[in-house]
Amino acid sequence: MRYALLLLIGLLAACQPAASNNGLPDFTGLVEENSPAVVNIATSIDPSKAETSVREQVPDFLRKFFEGMQEQEIPDQPHQAEATGSGFIIEEDGYILTNRHVVDGADHIIVRLSDRRELEAELVGQDERSDLALLKVDADDLPTVKIGSSAKLKVGEWVLAIGAPFGFDSSVTAGIVSAKGRSLPSENYVPFIQTDVAINPGNSGGPLFNLDGDVVGINSQIISRNGGYMGLSFAIPIDIAMDVVAQLKDKGRVSRGWLGVLIQPVDRDLAPSFGLDKPTGALVSQVLADSPAAAAGIQAGDVILKFNGEEIEDSSELPQVVGLLVPGVEAPMEVMRDGKLTTLSVAVGELPDDAEQRFTPGMNNTAEPANVLGLTVAPLSKSDSEEFDLKHGVQVLTVTDGPAATAGIQPGDIILSVNNKPVENPNEFNALVKDLPESSTVPILVFRDGGSRFIALKLP
Protein backbone atom coordinates (compact mmCIF):
# COMPACT_ATOMS: atom_id res chain seq x y z
CA MET A 1 0.00 0.00 0.00
CA ARG A 2 2.82 2.36 0.94
CA TYR A 3 4.63 1.76 -2.35
CA ALA A 4 1.40 2.26 -4.31
CA LEU A 5 0.86 5.58 -2.55
CA LEU A 6 4.40 6.72 -3.31
CA LEU A 7 3.96 5.71 -6.95
CA LEU A 8 0.72 7.72 -7.16
CA ILE A 9 2.39 10.79 -5.66
CA GLY A 10 5.22 10.43 -8.16
CA LEU A 11 2.81 10.24 -11.08
CA LEU A 12 0.93 13.32 -9.90
CA ALA A 13 4.18 15.24 -9.54
CA ALA A 14 5.22 14.26 -13.05
CA CYS A 15 2.00 15.75 -14.45
CA GLN A 16 2.76 19.18 -12.97
CA PRO A 17 4.98 21.78 -14.70
CA ALA A 18 8.53 21.75 -13.44
CA ALA A 19 9.37 24.45 -10.92
CA SER A 20 12.67 25.95 -9.91
CA ASN A 21 13.82 26.36 -6.32
CA ASN A 22 12.30 29.85 -6.11
CA GLY A 23 8.83 28.59 -7.06
CA LEU A 24 8.90 29.92 -10.62
CA PRO A 25 8.32 27.52 -13.55
CA ASP A 26 11.27 25.75 -15.12
CA PHE A 27 11.00 26.22 -18.88
CA THR A 28 14.05 24.17 -19.88
CA GLY A 29 12.18 21.02 -20.88
CA LEU A 30 9.59 22.98 -22.84
CA VAL A 31 12.30 24.85 -24.76
CA GLU A 32 14.33 21.74 -25.54
CA GLU A 33 11.27 19.95 -26.88
CA ASN A 34 9.86 22.78 -29.01
CA SER A 35 12.81 24.87 -30.24
CA PRO A 36 13.52 22.52 -33.20
CA ALA A 37 10.07 23.33 -34.65
CA VAL A 38 10.63 27.10 -34.59
CA VAL A 39 12.19 28.58 -37.73
CA ASN A 40 13.79 31.80 -38.85
CA ILE A 41 12.32 33.41 -41.97
CA ALA A 42 14.20 35.74 -44.33
CA THR A 43 12.65 37.40 -47.38
CA SER A 44 14.06 39.26 -50.35
CA ILE A 45 12.99 41.15 -53.45
CA ASP A 46 14.71 40.48 -56.76
CA PRO A 47 16.78 43.49 -57.84
CA SER A 48 15.36 43.13 -61.36
CA LYS A 49 11.82 43.44 -59.96
CA ALA A 50 12.42 46.26 -57.50
CA GLU A 51 9.86 48.96 -58.06
CA THR A 52 12.05 51.87 -57.06
CA SER A 53 15.68 52.79 -57.36
CA VAL A 54 17.81 55.12 -55.31
CA ARG A 55 17.36 57.79 -57.98
CA GLU A 56 13.57 57.49 -57.83
CA GLN A 57 13.58 57.78 -54.03
CA VAL A 58 15.40 61.13 -54.04
CA PRO A 59 13.03 63.90 -52.88
CA ASP A 60 12.11 66.53 -55.47
CA PHE A 61 13.91 69.31 -53.61
CA LEU A 62 17.21 67.37 -53.88
CA ARG A 63 16.95 66.42 -57.55
CA LYS A 64 18.73 69.61 -58.65
CA PHE A 65 21.79 68.38 -56.76
CA PHE A 66 22.10 65.50 -59.20
CA GLU A 67 21.61 67.63 -62.34
CA GLY A 68 24.82 67.81 -64.33
CA MET A 69 26.42 64.77 -62.69
CA GLN A 70 27.77 62.03 -64.92
CA GLU A 71 25.40 59.08 -65.30
CA GLN A 72 27.86 56.72 -63.64
CA GLU A 73 28.03 59.02 -60.61
CA ILE A 74 24.31 58.78 -59.88
CA PRO A 75 23.35 55.83 -57.70
CA ASP A 76 20.64 54.11 -59.71
CA GLN A 77 20.91 50.42 -58.84
CA PRO A 78 17.89 48.78 -57.27
CA HIS A 79 18.81 47.18 -54.00
CA GLN A 80 17.81 43.82 -52.60
CA ALA A 81 15.56 44.28 -49.60
CA GLU A 82 15.61 41.72 -46.81
CA ALA A 83 13.49 41.17 -43.74
CA THR A 84 13.54 38.61 -40.98
CA GLY A 85 10.86 37.08 -38.82
CA SER A 86 9.87 33.84 -37.16
CA GLY A 87 7.55 30.95 -37.84
CA PHE A 88 6.81 27.44 -36.65
CA ILE A 89 6.21 24.07 -38.29
CA ILE A 90 2.66 22.79 -37.85
CA GLU A 91 2.90 19.67 -40.04
CA GLU A 92 5.89 17.38 -40.55
CA ASP A 93 5.58 17.55 -44.35
CA GLY A 94 6.62 21.20 -44.33
CA TYR A 95 3.65 23.49 -43.55
CA ILE A 96 4.79 26.57 -41.62
CA LEU A 97 2.69 29.30 -40.02
CA THR A 98 3.87 32.92 -39.69
CA ASN A 99 2.64 36.51 -39.92
CA ARG A 100 1.61 37.92 -43.26
CA HIS A 101 3.62 41.09 -42.72
CA VAL A 102 6.79 38.96 -42.45
CA VAL A 103 6.48 37.69 -46.03
CA ASP A 104 4.25 40.25 -47.74
CA GLY A 105 5.58 41.34 -51.12
CA ALA A 106 8.59 38.99 -51.06
CA ASP A 107 9.94 37.32 -54.21
CA HIS A 108 11.93 34.77 -52.22
CA ILE A 109 11.17 33.31 -48.78
CA ILE A 110 14.03 31.42 -47.11
CA VAL A 111 13.31 29.28 -44.07
CA ARG A 112 16.24 28.38 -41.81
CA LEU A 113 15.64 25.26 -39.73
CA SER A 114 17.16 24.48 -36.35
CA ASP A 115 19.61 22.05 -38.01
CA ARG A 116 20.96 25.00 -40.08
CA ARG A 117 19.34 23.87 -43.32
CA GLU A 118 17.99 26.69 -45.48
CA LEU A 119 14.99 25.91 -47.69
CA GLU A 120 13.05 28.12 -50.07
CA ALA A 121 9.38 28.27 -49.12
CA GLU A 122 6.27 28.55 -51.23
CA LEU A 123 3.52 30.94 -50.12
CA VAL A 124 0.42 28.75 -49.91
CA GLY A 125 -1.86 31.62 -48.93
CA GLN A 126 -2.17 34.72 -46.81
CA ASP A 127 -4.92 36.61 -45.02
CA GLU A 128 -4.56 40.34 -44.55
CA ARG A 129 -7.29 40.79 -41.95
CA SER A 130 -5.74 38.31 -39.50
CA ASP A 131 -2.14 39.03 -40.58
CA LEU A 132 -1.43 35.33 -41.13
CA ALA A 133 0.47 33.48 -43.87
CA LEU A 134 0.85 29.76 -44.58
CA LEU A 135 4.14 28.55 -46.10
CA LYS A 136 5.28 25.18 -47.44
CA VAL A 137 8.82 23.84 -47.77
CA ASP A 138 9.83 20.67 -49.60
CA ALA A 139 10.87 18.43 -46.72
CA ASP A 140 9.63 15.47 -44.71
CA ASP A 141 9.76 14.25 -41.12
CA LEU A 142 10.20 17.76 -39.74
CA PRO A 143 9.76 18.49 -36.02
CA THR A 144 6.38 20.04 -35.24
CA VAL A 145 4.72 21.94 -32.41
CA LYS A 146 1.64 20.81 -30.53
CA ILE A 147 -1.44 22.93 -31.22
CA GLY A 148 -3.32 23.92 -28.08
CA SER A 149 -6.46 25.92 -27.37
CA SER A 150 -6.45 29.67 -26.85
CA ALA A 151 -10.04 29.48 -25.58
CA LYS A 152 -8.82 27.67 -22.45
CA LEU A 153 -6.09 30.23 -21.77
CA LYS A 154 -6.55 32.22 -18.57
CA VAL A 155 -5.40 35.70 -17.60
CA GLY A 156 -2.40 35.41 -15.28
CA GLU A 157 -1.23 32.13 -16.85
CA TRP A 158 2.46 31.69 -17.66
CA VAL A 159 3.38 31.77 -21.37
CA LEU A 160 6.63 31.54 -23.28
CA ALA A 161 7.76 32.80 -26.70
CA ILE A 162 10.45 31.41 -28.98
CA GLY A 163 11.61 33.45 -31.97
CA ALA A 164 14.39 35.39 -33.65
CA PRO A 165 14.33 38.99 -32.40
CA PHE A 166 16.81 41.12 -34.34
CA GLY A 167 17.92 37.91 -36.08
CA PHE A 168 19.03 36.11 -32.93
CA ASP A 169 17.75 32.58 -33.56
CA SER A 170 15.94 30.56 -30.91
CA SER A 171 15.63 33.37 -28.38
CA VAL A 172 13.34 32.55 -25.47
CA THR A 173 11.30 35.01 -23.39
CA ALA A 174 8.56 34.38 -20.84
CA GLY A 175 5.78 36.22 -19.05
CA ILE A 176 2.10 36.00 -18.24
CA VAL A 177 -1.17 36.57 -20.05
CA SER A 178 -2.16 40.16 -19.29
CA ALA A 179 -5.60 40.12 -20.94
CA LYS A 180 -7.69 38.36 -23.57
CA GLY A 181 -9.94 39.61 -26.33
CA ARG A 182 -8.02 42.82 -26.94
CA SER A 183 -8.96 44.89 -30.00
CA LEU A 184 -6.36 46.92 -31.85
CA PRO A 185 -7.18 49.82 -34.19
CA SER A 186 -5.56 48.10 -37.18
CA GLU A 187 -7.26 44.72 -36.67
CA ASN A 188 -11.06 44.42 -36.33
CA TYR A 189 -11.41 40.65 -36.61
CA VAL A 190 -8.80 39.37 -34.14
CA PRO A 191 -9.39 39.21 -30.36
CA PHE A 192 -5.71 39.45 -29.41
CA ILE A 193 -4.04 37.82 -26.42
CA GLN A 194 -2.15 40.51 -24.51
CA THR A 195 1.00 39.41 -22.67
CA ASP A 196 4.03 40.96 -21.01
CA VAL A 197 6.36 38.57 -22.84
CA ALA A 198 9.30 40.49 -24.32
CA ILE A 199 8.62 40.70 -28.08
CA ASN A 200 10.83 42.64 -30.48
CA PRO A 201 11.28 42.96 -34.27
CA GLY A 202 11.99 39.46 -35.58
CA ASN A 203 9.68 37.74 -33.08
CA SER A 204 6.75 38.28 -35.43
CA GLY A 205 5.23 34.99 -36.52
CA GLY A 206 6.76 32.98 -33.71
CA PRO A 207 4.79 30.72 -31.36
CA LEU A 208 3.44 31.52 -27.91
CA PHE A 209 3.41 28.42 -25.64
CA ASN A 210 1.60 27.57 -22.44
CA LEU A 211 3.30 25.53 -19.71
CA ASP A 212 2.06 22.30 -21.27
CA GLY A 213 4.14 23.06 -24.35
CA ASP A 214 1.09 23.73 -26.53
CA VAL A 215 0.99 26.66 -28.94
CA VAL A 216 -1.78 29.03 -27.84
CA GLY A 217 -0.93 32.07 -29.97
CA ILE A 218 1.22 33.67 -32.65
CA ASN A 219 3.27 36.66 -31.52
CA SER A 220 2.30 39.46 -33.85
CA GLN A 221 2.43 43.03 -32.58
CA ILE A 222 3.67 45.33 -29.86
CA ILE A 223 2.67 48.79 -28.69
CA SER A 224 5.73 50.94 -28.29
CA ARG A 225 6.80 54.57 -28.20
CA ASN A 226 10.31 53.83 -29.43
CA GLY A 227 9.94 50.70 -31.60
CA GLY A 228 11.18 48.35 -28.88
CA TYR A 229 9.51 46.22 -26.24
CA MET A 230 7.61 48.16 -23.56
CA GLY A 231 5.61 45.45 -21.83
CA LEU A 232 2.64 45.30 -24.22
CA SER A 233 2.76 42.36 -26.61
CA PHE A 234 -0.10 40.89 -28.63
CA ALA A 235 -0.58 37.41 -30.03
CA ILE A 236 -3.15 36.02 -32.46
CA PRO A 237 -5.18 33.24 -30.74
CA ILE A 238 -4.25 29.83 -32.18
CA ASP A 239 -7.93 28.85 -32.50
CA ILE A 240 -8.45 31.65 -35.02
CA ALA A 241 -5.14 30.92 -36.73
CA MET A 242 -5.93 27.26 -37.33
CA ASP A 243 -9.31 28.16 -38.83
CA VAL A 244 -7.44 30.46 -41.23
CA VAL A 245 -4.96 27.67 -42.02
CA ALA A 246 -7.78 25.24 -42.85
CA GLN A 247 -9.41 27.74 -45.21
CA LEU A 248 -6.13 28.68 -46.91
CA LYS A 249 -5.31 25.00 -47.52
CA ASP A 250 -8.82 24.25 -48.74
CA LYS A 251 -9.58 27.22 -50.99
CA GLY A 252 -6.66 29.65 -50.83
CA ARG A 253 -8.70 32.42 -49.20
CA VAL A 254 -10.58 33.17 -45.99
CA SER A 255 -14.33 33.76 -45.71
CA ARG A 256 -15.80 35.73 -42.81
CA GLY A 257 -19.27 36.57 -41.63
CA TRP A 258 -20.60 40.06 -42.35
CA LEU A 259 -23.58 42.13 -41.23
CA GLY A 260 -23.19 45.32 -43.24
CA VAL A 261 -23.41 47.87 -40.44
CA LEU A 262 -21.20 50.67 -39.22
CA ILE A 263 -21.00 50.70 -35.44
CA GLN A 264 -19.61 52.81 -32.64
CA PRO A 265 -19.13 52.47 -28.88
CA VAL A 266 -21.84 53.50 -26.45
CA ASP A 267 -20.39 56.02 -24.03
CA ARG A 268 -21.89 57.19 -20.76
CA ASP A 269 -23.41 60.27 -22.43
CA LEU A 270 -25.20 58.26 -25.12
CA ALA A 271 -26.31 55.33 -22.96
CA PRO A 272 -29.34 56.98 -21.23
CA SER A 273 -30.69 58.35 -24.51
CA PHE A 274 -30.89 54.79 -25.88
CA GLY A 275 -32.57 53.34 -22.81
CA LEU A 276 -29.45 51.78 -21.32
CA ASP A 277 -28.48 51.98 -17.66
CA LYS A 278 -24.78 51.60 -18.49
CA PRO A 279 -22.47 51.98 -21.52
CA THR A 280 -22.63 48.61 -23.27
CA GLY A 281 -23.24 47.07 -26.68
CA ALA A 282 -22.54 48.14 -30.26
CA LEU A 283 -24.46 51.18 -31.47
CA VAL A 284 -25.50 50.92 -35.14
CA SER A 285 -24.82 54.26 -36.83
CA GLN A 286 -25.43 53.14 -40.41
CA VAL A 287 -26.93 50.16 -42.23
CA LEU A 288 -25.47 49.53 -45.67
CA ALA A 289 -27.90 49.08 -48.53
CA ASP A 290 -28.57 45.52 -49.74
CA SER A 291 -26.72 44.10 -46.73
CA PRO A 292 -27.71 41.21 -44.43
CA ALA A 293 -28.46 43.78 -41.72
CA ALA A 294 -30.85 45.68 -44.00
CA ALA A 295 -32.65 42.44 -44.91
CA ALA A 296 -33.00 41.57 -41.21
CA GLY A 297 -34.54 44.94 -40.36
CA ILE A 298 -31.65 46.33 -38.34
CA GLN A 299 -31.92 50.13 -38.04
CA ALA A 300 -29.59 52.98 -37.27
CA GLY A 301 -29.96 53.65 -33.56
CA ASP A 302 -30.25 49.98 -32.61
CA VAL A 303 -27.85 48.91 -29.87
CA ILE A 304 -26.75 45.32 -30.38
CA LEU A 305 -26.43 43.71 -26.94
CA LYS A 306 -26.16 40.03 -27.85
CA PHE A 307 -25.26 38.25 -31.08
CA ASN A 308 -25.56 34.50 -31.64
CA GLY A 309 -25.65 33.98 -27.90
CA GLU A 310 -22.53 36.07 -27.21
CA GLU A 311 -22.80 39.13 -24.98
CA ILE A 312 -21.55 42.28 -26.74
CA GLU A 313 -20.20 44.47 -23.97
CA ASP A 314 -17.95 46.57 -26.22
CA SER A 315 -18.58 47.49 -29.85
CA SER A 316 -15.20 46.06 -30.88
CA GLU A 317 -16.42 42.57 -29.95
CA LEU A 318 -19.16 42.48 -32.60
CA PRO A 319 -16.92 42.19 -35.73
CA GLN A 320 -14.97 39.40 -34.04
CA VAL A 321 -18.10 37.41 -33.16
CA VAL A 322 -19.71 37.91 -36.57
CA GLY A 323 -16.47 37.26 -38.47
CA LEU A 324 -16.11 33.78 -36.99
CA LEU A 325 -19.47 32.65 -38.37
CA VAL A 326 -19.85 30.79 -41.65
CA PRO A 327 -21.64 32.92 -44.26
CA GLY A 328 -25.24 31.81 -44.63
CA VAL A 329 -25.77 30.93 -40.96
CA GLU A 330 -28.92 32.29 -39.29
CA ALA A 331 -27.93 34.07 -36.10
CA PRO A 332 -30.24 35.52 -33.40
CA MET A 333 -29.49 38.92 -31.95
CA GLU A 334 -30.86 41.11 -29.18
CA VAL A 335 -31.04 44.86 -29.74
CA MET A 336 -32.24 47.80 -27.71
CA ARG A 337 -34.57 49.87 -29.90
CA ASP A 338 -36.48 52.91 -28.65
CA GLY A 339 -35.85 51.77 -25.09
CA LYS A 340 -37.26 48.28 -25.65
CA LEU A 341 -35.43 44.96 -26.00
CA THR A 342 -36.08 43.38 -29.41
CA THR A 343 -34.99 40.03 -30.85
CA LEU A 344 -34.06 39.75 -34.53
CA SER A 345 -32.66 37.02 -36.77
CA VAL A 346 -30.10 37.71 -39.48
CA ALA A 347 -28.71 35.55 -42.28
CA VAL A 348 -24.99 36.31 -42.01
CA GLY A 349 -23.39 37.32 -45.29
CA GLU A 350 -19.79 37.04 -46.48
CA LEU A 351 -17.45 39.94 -45.77
CA PRO A 352 -16.63 41.60 -49.11
CA ASP A 353 -13.21 42.97 -49.95
CA ASP A 354 -14.60 46.52 -50.16
CA ALA A 355 -16.61 46.40 -46.94
CA GLU A 356 -15.11 49.70 -45.78
CA GLN A 357 -16.61 52.54 -47.77
CA ARG A 358 -15.20 56.06 -47.86
CA PHE A 359 -16.98 59.19 -49.06
CA THR A 360 -16.22 62.90 -48.99
CA PRO A 361 -19.35 64.99 -48.40
CA GLY A 362 -19.99 67.89 -50.75
CA MET A 363 -21.40 71.31 -49.95
CA ASN A 364 -24.78 72.92 -50.61
CA ASN A 365 -25.20 76.66 -50.88
CA THR A 366 -28.85 77.02 -49.80
CA ALA A 367 -28.83 77.74 -46.09
CA GLU A 368 -31.36 78.09 -43.32
CA PRO A 369 -30.77 80.55 -40.47
CA ALA A 370 -28.77 79.33 -37.50
CA ASN A 371 -30.78 77.67 -34.71
CA VAL A 372 -30.29 77.53 -30.95
CA LEU A 373 -27.64 74.82 -31.40
CA GLY A 374 -25.46 77.27 -33.33
CA LEU A 375 -25.91 75.53 -36.69
CA THR A 376 -26.70 76.76 -40.16
CA VAL A 377 -28.08 73.91 -42.25
CA ALA A 378 -29.11 73.38 -45.86
CA PRO A 379 -31.18 70.79 -47.73
CA LEU A 380 -29.45 67.63 -48.83
CA SER A 381 -28.66 67.94 -52.52
CA LYS A 382 -29.75 65.33 -55.04
CA SER A 383 -26.11 64.63 -55.95
CA ASP A 384 -25.17 64.02 -52.31
CA SER A 385 -28.19 61.79 -51.81
CA GLU A 386 -27.33 59.65 -54.83
CA GLU A 387 -23.57 59.57 -54.23
CA PHE A 388 -23.81 58.60 -50.57
CA ASP A 389 -27.06 56.60 -50.85
CA LEU A 390 -28.75 58.80 -48.24
CA LYS A 391 -32.55 58.93 -48.09
CA HIS A 392 -32.80 62.04 -45.94
CA GLY A 393 -30.80 64.58 -43.94
CA VAL A 394 -29.59 68.17 -43.85
CA GLN A 395 -26.10 69.49 -44.41
CA VAL A 396 -24.24 71.65 -41.90
CA LEU A 397 -22.87 74.82 -43.48
CA THR A 398 -21.62 76.79 -40.46
CA VAL A 399 -21.08 76.11 -36.78
CA THR A 400 -20.99 78.92 -34.23
CA ASP A 401 -20.48 78.79 -30.47
CA GLY A 402 -23.07 76.58 -28.88
CA PRO A 403 -23.96 72.99 -27.95
CA ALA A 404 -23.27 71.68 -31.48
CA ALA A 405 -19.73 73.07 -31.55
CA THR A 406 -19.09 71.68 -28.09
CA ALA A 407 -20.27 68.25 -29.26
CA GLY A 408 -17.87 68.32 -32.21
CA ILE A 409 -20.27 68.86 -35.12
CA GLN A 410 -18.41 70.32 -38.11
CA PRO A 411 -19.23 72.13 -41.36
CA GLY A 412 -19.82 69.54 -44.08
CA ASP A 413 -21.48 67.05 -41.71
CA ILE A 414 -24.82 65.66 -42.81
CA ILE A 415 -27.28 65.35 -39.93
CA LEU A 416 -29.51 62.32 -40.44
CA SER A 417 -31.52 62.26 -37.21
CA VAL A 418 -32.11 64.27 -34.05
CA ASN A 419 -33.03 62.45 -30.84
CA ASN A 420 -33.60 59.27 -32.91
CA LYS A 421 -36.05 61.03 -35.26
CA PRO A 422 -35.09 61.23 -38.96
CA VAL A 423 -34.56 64.66 -40.49
CA GLU A 424 -36.09 65.31 -43.94
CA ASN A 425 -35.38 69.02 -44.46
CA PRO A 426 -34.11 72.16 -42.66
CA ASN A 427 -37.59 73.22 -41.48
CA GLU A 428 -38.16 69.81 -39.90
CA PHE A 429 -34.68 69.92 -38.39
CA ASN A 430 -35.34 73.29 -36.73
CA ALA A 431 -38.69 72.06 -35.45
CA LEU A 432 -37.08 69.00 -33.88
CA VAL A 433 -34.37 71.17 -32.29
CA LYS A 434 -37.00 73.53 -30.89
CA ASP A 435 -38.76 70.62 -29.16
CA LEU A 436 -35.62 69.17 -27.55
CA PRO A 437 -35.89 68.93 -23.75
CA GLU A 438 -33.77 71.36 -21.77
CA SER A 439 -30.89 70.17 -19.59
CA SER A 440 -30.73 66.82 -21.34
CA THR A 441 -28.40 64.80 -23.56
CA VAL A 442 -29.77 63.68 -26.92
CA PRO A 443 -28.18 61.64 -29.73
CA ILE A 444 -27.48 63.30 -33.11
CA LEU A 445 -26.74 60.95 -36.03
CA VAL A 446 -24.08 62.54 -38.25
CA PHE A 447 -22.74 61.33 -41.62
CA ARG A 448 -19.06 62.25 -42.09
CA ASP A 449 -16.17 60.91 -44.20
CA GLY A 450 -18.20 58.05 -45.59
CA GLY A 451 -19.69 56.81 -42.32
CA SER A 452 -22.41 57.62 -39.81
CA ARG A 453 -21.80 58.23 -36.12
CA PHE A 454 -23.96 59.19 -33.15
CA ILE A 455 -22.80 62.24 -31.22
CA ALA A 456 -24.05 63.07 -27.73
CA LEU A 457 -25.41 66.62 -27.69
CA LYS A 458 -25.71 68.22 -24.25
CA LEU A 459 -28.39 70.87 -24.01
CA PRO A 460 -28.17 73.73 -21.51
Residue 127 vs residue 300, higher pLDDT: 127
AA identity, residue 38:
V
Average pLDDT score over residue span 312-341: 92
* Residues 206 and 170: beta-carbon distance below 8 Å: no
Lowest mean pLDDT among 67-71, 94-98, 374-378, 393-397: 67-71
Q: Is the pLDDT of residue 364 over 60?
A: no
Domain range 257-350, CATH class:
mainly beta
The CATH code of the domain at 375-458 is 2.30.42.10
CA atoms of 315 and 70, how far apart (whole Å): 60
CA atoms of 205 and 102, how far apart (whole Å): 7
Superfamily name with CATH number, domain 146-251: Trypsin-like serine proteases (2.40.10.10)
* Residues 433 and 372: beta-carbon distance below 8 Å: yes
CA atoms of 301 and 299, how far apart (whole Å): 6
Q: Is the pLDDT of residue 36 over 80?
A: yes
Residue 11 vs residue 121, higher pLDDT: 121
Q: Is the pLDDT of residue 82 over 70?
A: no
Among residues 450, 423, 425, 447, the alpha carbon closest in space to that of 436 is found at 423
Mode of pairing for the β-strands spanning 214-222 and 146-147: parallel
Annotated catalytic residues are 101, 131, 204
* Residues 194 and 236: beta-carbon distance below 8 Å: no
At 148 the pLDDT is 96
Q: Does the domain formed by 33-136 have CATH 2.40.10.10? A: yes
CA–centroid distance for 155 within its chain: 21
- Intrachain domains 33-136 and 146-251 with the same fold: yes
At 401 the pLDDT is 72
The residue ranges of every structural domain in the chain are 33-136, 146-251, 257-350, 375-458
